[in-house]
Structure 1
Amino acid sequence: MTVEELFEIESFKKFKVINNNADLTRRIITVESTETPDVVNYLTPNSLLITTAMSYQNNQEGLIDLIYTLNNLPCAGLAIKLGRFIDKLDERVIQVSDELGFPLLQIPLEMTLGEVYHNLLSHLWNNQNEELLSALNTQKKFSNLVIQGTSIKTMLNNLGHALKKPVALMNPFGQIISYNSTCTKEKVALAEKTFHKYELYNRKSGEFASIKDNQVEKTSIFTIKNVGQNYYYLFVFDSKNKVAALSEMVIEQVLLIFRVSMYKNLYMLGNALKNKEEFLNILLNRYKDESWTSHQLMVIGEKYGLLDSEDYTVILGTLETFEGEKFNYTNFSSKEEQYVAIYDWMDKEINRIFNGKIIMFPEASNFRFLILLQGNCPDMLDRLSDFHDMVQKIFKINIIFSYGNSMVDINSIKFSYKEAIEGYRYGECKGNISYIKYYRPKNASELLKSVSNEQVQGFCLHILKELAYSTDEMMLELRRTLQVYLECRCSITATARRMFLHRNTIKYRIKRCEDILGNDLSDFDYCFQLQLGLILLENQ
């Protein structure tokens, strides 16, 4: 109970508040009665101390020291029976109490300290018993709701009914995800404004201290810690003060049950992401022993939002903080919870903003997200910047976005994905934005440099045979003739003109090449492979 609620009890209605600025919202957990000056060494915090102040009848300066000490404990207040040893408190005593907001109460002369002590203690015990019973009943009721698979919305409606208050639940990003039937849109807007204005994500205590804002001061905000250092927030509106409006034991039980419920929801969401990642593996052709047509992919992907589009672009979002770590689907820790929370939030935001033109896929094994653009999405860069800034602010995690190139059909999405991977590793930044990278296509020379010498030698020997690495002058001349012939699109006349040789000489040499290669040069694809082999030889 609070000091203010004390005056509502019949036995204590004649009590008076001596100082004007007393904080009557202070909690009273128990009552103590003593005349000993060093009583503070034996007091329980949040006690109401009752006394005649006998020790201070000729030394009210000592009473001031006592008030400072009691306030620091903290103590609920000091109730003095005036008229016994002290008739009137000095103004300085009252002034110090007002400066501290420390309640000074006057006990009526006709009441004995023993009467006050026993009546108040009996009332507190009764309240605590009722509170304990209420907490146990609440725990049982809400536990049953969790077991029955009740939604967060229904649980909030039950909580709001029990407290007779509007209540709402907020996610780590400052968005109200659900609220009860008596919670208005104005209160939802107030809660979301409060989150950002007062940076609630930086305040990790169980219940926040009073926020000095006329709109917010009658709102209690409780944190719900999930797996790691990740918090959701329970708002209880129109609570006159944090303690008077709520039973501490009851709210503790409610928060515990909400935590269990959200942990259960976390695993359910994790399993849903695992199923969605299975389709992503199909889309990226990771199961080499299976092949899927475009039609089959469209049919399977329809439930995930896959559309028939003229272009598809892959954007990868990589959580650099967890790079190289393994995602554990069976035992979530803080990093898994953060990944799922970020994915869920980004997915909902993308759907809200782009109305189905973009699909989010989880790639949890690499702590990445795959964002598939289906068509033109001109505002995407701005949204990626928003996502990056919010994740950085709330979770202190750095997320890097990398683009692949646009592809024209579903079966080519895997190539855009590979380019996005390359973009993340070696890509160029967009302007001065270090966390958005683009794939830079390689030219032919760069591509050839990426092939190992062993692979080059194997290919050249296979396709060019004796012409590949021979040092014989005749073989070198035949290889040079073959190269010019291919460059001249297999024209004998053009080759002879470029090499300043007779047409019959070129015919003879090409026939020798065909004999060595065991193939004629009328096949276009074969000629292309020959050209590639000759280029590889030159670049070794």
Structure 2
Amino acid sequence: MMDAPDIIYYLKPNELLVTTAYHLKDNPHDLLELIKSMVEQQCAGLAIKIKRFLEEIPENALAYANEIGFPIIELPIDISLGEVVNQLLSYILDKRTNELLLAIETHQKFTNHIMSGKGLTSLLRSLSSMIKYPIMLLNKHFRIIGSSHPFSKLSDELGKLYTNGFRFFLPNTSYSCFSIISNREVVSVFPIYTHEENSGCLAVIGMIPFSNPSMILTIEQAANVISFELMKENALKQYTKKVRNEFFINFTEGAFQSQEEVTIKAKEFQIINDQSYICAVGKLDESRTMLSFTESHKEIDTIFEFIEEESHIFSKSIHHFVKGNICILIFPITESWTELNTIILPFLEELQIKIKNRYNRTVSFGLSNLCQQFLDVQKGFREALEALQTGRLSGNRQFIQIYRRKDISELLQMIPTQDLKDFYNETLQKLSDQSIHENQILLHTLFVFLENHCQISETAKKLYVHRNTVIYRLENCEKLIGKSLKDPDTTFRLRLAFRIKNLLHL
């Protein structure tokens, strides 16, 4: 309410100006300019008390107001502006009071609903019956975690958008709407606020009009109650994860006192010992962008949580664990080893694609050999970890490496070269000196002898010499090494020595 000439500078959007038009009494046609300025300021309307200072509203002002749809209200002369303002304020206060009471009642109703143990699904059905729209509760991966009605088709549509890398940039408002072109449905989205940056949303299938504040308020109160319930469920979920991960860490590190103890504790997590398994170990490949320690761990947690959810959707029998910066998936094998190629590898490959599309990160996996029972997973975990390390040493990214048992040459390569040379010289003694031509002949004879399972006749045939010549050379070998060739330990050491000789080109 104001009659100052410079009134336009004090007006704000959505405000209604109540005036006697005193400052326009000498220039009534200036009312048109005031209206134009109010339109620019996005004011709600103009209420003028006529017959006091302004006999009538100019025709050009009325025509312009009608043309653009700007409300002009004529106030009777027998009502004071104070009465008009007081009635308006009383109406606004009564409306806000009723909204506040509705919010309190709605919040209390939904809180009692949860406290009575009826759960989120029952709450969503109750909310849906109140607002007459179907509702679904989506997590941060846009997957349904609760709904008032079945939404399998719509859930698949949203899931595809999310996993293929589409982002839902929702404006910073109480709610927003978007349309799904494939089925021409409008979805009104109300964010769920918890301790996490992105906690999901309450999706109403239909257009919630801004002109219905009571309905919006009802949905917002339900969202508030849901946020507290989700925080409670998340706390319980995190505790369960922590216990499960501690069990697996203790299991792989051999902290339990007996196999029986492992079997009993595994049953707490629905893990059966008499079942074949394959262990997969996953790790994010090195990022090409530098992240802080906190950001890096947050990213790892988010992606590992996504892997866990995808695994659960694929098969509820897959067991998921986290140990530091690696995640572990234990796949039960129900029929045969062929499930690795028909089930496990396709799932992991699809998972890698989804993570690449959604988070722009790559993840690699190492796979163990078949574990005949859960107790063997302790060894299988080491195999999967070693397979992962082998792939990373090759410089690969987004790979799946299957563990391959090492042969003797690969095992020998893991031993320092000097230690191998010392073993070679100690085993062959004087025979290791190949600068002597006779020693070269004796070494070759001894090698052929060992390769032919210590059979003198077979050795003579391979060397094209007489049997007695072989015997004579072998006796000389025994003198030089100071050991009997009939001793199994001696022949075993000699075989290793020859492997070292080939490996190091001695």
TM range (shorter): 0.7 to 0.9
Q: Residue 279 and residue 397 in structure 1: after superposition, are their counterparts in 2 closer, same or farther (change >3 A)?
A: farther
Give, in angstroms, the shift of residue 170 of structure 1: 0.3
Partner in structure 1 of residue 266 of structure 2: 300
| Cα distance in structure 2, aligned partners of 1:58 and 1:529 | 115
Partner in structure 1 of residue 88 of structure 2: 120
Q: Residue 506 and residue 244 in structure 1: after superposition, are their counterparts in 2 closer, same or farther (change >3 A)?
A: same
Amino acid at match of 2:45: L
1:435 aligns with 2:384: no
| Cα distance in structure 2, aligned partners of 1:278 and 1:319 | 21
1:349 aligns with 2:313: yes
- Of 202-211 and 118-127, deviating more is 202-211
Q: Residue 240 and residue 142 in structure 1: after superposition, are their counterparts in 2 closer, same or farther (change >3 A)?
A: closer
| Cα distance in structure 2, aligned partners of 1:452 and 1:417 | 24
| Cα distance in structure 2, aligned partners of 1:512 and 1:453 | 29
Tell me, what secondary structure is at the counterpart of 1:201?
A: coil
Partner in structure 1 of residue 33 of structure 2: 62
1:489 to 446, 453, 456: 453
1:360 to 319, 330, 338: 319
Give, in angstroms, the shift of residue 313 of structure 1: 3.7
2:172 to 205, 209, 223: 205
Tell me, what secondary structure is at the counterpart of 1:231?
A: coil
Partner in structure 2 of residue 317 of structure 1: 282
Partner in structure 2 of residue 14 of structure 1: none
Per-residue CA deviation, residues 99-146 of structure 1 (Å, 9 max, x unaligned), is xxxx63645657654333222211222333344455456556666777
1:86 to 57, 67, 73: 57
| Cα distance in structure 2, aligned partners of 1:164 and 1:371 | 44
Give, in angstroms, the shift of residue 287 of structure 1: 1.7
Amino acid at match of 1:402: F
TM-score by length of 1: 0.69
| Cα distance in structure 2, aligned partners of 1:155 and 1:273 | 27
Tell me, what secondary structure is at the counterpart of 2:319?
A: strand
Amino acid at match of 2:82: G
TM-score by length of 2: 0.73
User: Is residue 222–residue 235 contact of structure 1 (8 Å, CA) maintained in 2?
Assistant: yes
1:422 aligns with 2:389: yes
Amino acid at match of 1:66: S
Tell me, what secondary structure is at the counterpart of 2:29?
A: coil
| Cα distance in structure 2, aligned partners of 1:423 and 1:203 | 43
Tell me, what secondary structure is at the counterpart of 2:324?
A: helix
1:172 to 124, 128, 140: 140
Give, in angstroms, the shift of residue 513 of structure 1: 4.9
Unaligned runs of 5+ in 1: 1-32, 98-102
| Cα distance in structure 1, aligned partners of 2:452 and 2:468 | 16
Per-residue CA deviation, residues 307-366 of structure 1 (Å, 9 max, x unaligned), is 8566x44433333478999999xxx98446524641442132112xxx64xx13222411
User: Is residue 139–residue 200 contact of structure 2 (8 Å, CA) maintained in 1?
Assistant: yes
1:152 to 120, 125, 148: 120
Amino acid at match of 2:381: K
| Cα distance in structure 2, aligned partners of 1:468 and 1:220 | 86
Partner in structure 1 of residue 503 of structure 2: 539
Amino acid at match of 2:470: I
Q: Residue 92 and residue 242 in structure 1: after superposition, are their counterparts in 2 closer, same or farther (change >3 A)?
A: closer
Give, in angstroms, the shift of residue 58 of structure 1: 0.9
Give, in angstroms, the shift of residue 418 of structure 1: 3.2
Tell me, what secondary structure is at the counterpart of 2:458?
A: helix
Per-residue CA deviation, residues 199-230 of structure 1 (Å, 9 max, x unaligned), is 5633263534343679655x531122444432
Alignment of 1:72-83 (within 5 A): 75=43, 77-81=44-48
| Cα distance in structure 2, aligned partners of 1:475 and 1:124 | 111
1:453 aligns with 2:417: yes
2:227 to 238, 243, 259: 259
Tell me, what secondary structure is at the counterpart of 1:222?
A: strand
Q: Residue 459 and residue 67 in structure 1: after superposition, are their counterparts in 2 closer, same or farther (change >3 A)?
A: farther
Amino acid at match of 1:203: L
User: Is residue 171–residue 231 contact of structure 1 (8 Å, CA) maintained in 2?
Assistant: yes
Amino acid at match of 1:304: Q
Tell me, what secondary structure is at the counterpart of 1:205?
A: coil
Tell me, what secondary structure is at the counterpart of 1:258?
A: helix
Q: Residue 240 and residue 38 in structure 1: after superposition, are their counterparts in 2 closer, same or farther (change >3 A)?
A: farther
Tell me, what secondary structure is at the counterpart of 1:220?
A: strand
Count matched residues: 477
| Identical counterparts, % of pairs | 21
Give, in angstroms, the shift of residue 178 of structure 1: 0.6
User: Is residue 460–residue 468 contact of structure 1 (8 Å, CA) maintained in 2?
Assistant: no
User: Is residue 143–residue 158 contact of structure 2 (8 Å, CA) maintained in 1?
Assistant: no
Amino acid at match of 2:281: L
User: Is residue 368–residue 380 contact of structure 2 (8 Å, CA) maintained in 1?
Assistant: no
Give, in angstroms, the shift of residue 391 of structure 1: 3.7
| Cα distance in structure 1, aligned partners of 2:168 and 2:75 | 48
Tell me, what secondary structure is at the counterpart of 1:270?
A: helix
Tell me, what secondary structure is at the counterpart of 1:66?
A: helix
Per-residue CA deviation, residues 410-450 of structure 1 (Å, 9 max, x unaligned), is 32633641354135414697xxxx63433485776555444
| Cα distance in structure 2, aligned partners of 1:164 and 1:521 | 92
User: Is residue 15–residue 45 contact of structure 2 (8 Å, CA) maintained in 1?
Assistant: no
| Cα distance in structure 2, aligned partners of 1:466 and 1:67 | 107
Q: Residue 227 and residue 400 in structure 1: after superposition, are their counterparts in 2 closer, same or farther (change >3 A)?
A: same
Q: Residue 229 and residue 42 in structure 1: after superposition, are their counterparts in 2 closer, same or farther (change >3 A)?
A: same
Q: Residue 345 and residue 512 in structure 1: after superposition, are their counterparts in 2 closer, same or farther (change >3 A)?
A: same
Amino acid at match of 1:259: S
Tell me, what secondary structure is at the counterpart of 1:169?
A: strand
| Cα distance in structure 2, aligned partners of 1:345 and 1:277 | 16
Amino acid at match of 1:70: Q
Partner in structure 1 of residue 149 of structure 2: 184
Tell me, what secondary structure is at the counterpart of 1:86?
A: coil
| Cα distance in structure 1, aligned partners of 2:312 and 2:231 | 19
Give, in angstroms, the shift of residue 232 of structure 1: 0.3
C-alpha root-mean-square deviation of aligned residues, in Å?
A: 4.7
Partner in structure 2 of residue 15 of structure 1: none
| Cα distance in structure 1, aligned partners of 2:418 and 2:240 | 44
Tell me, what secondary structure is at the counterpart of 1:262?
A: helix
Larger radius of gyration: 2
Tell me, what secondary structure is at the counterpart of 2:363?
A: strand
Tell me, what secondary structure is at the counterpart of 1:304?
A: coil
Partner in structure 2 of residue 398 of structure 1: 361
Unaligned runs of 5+ in 2: none
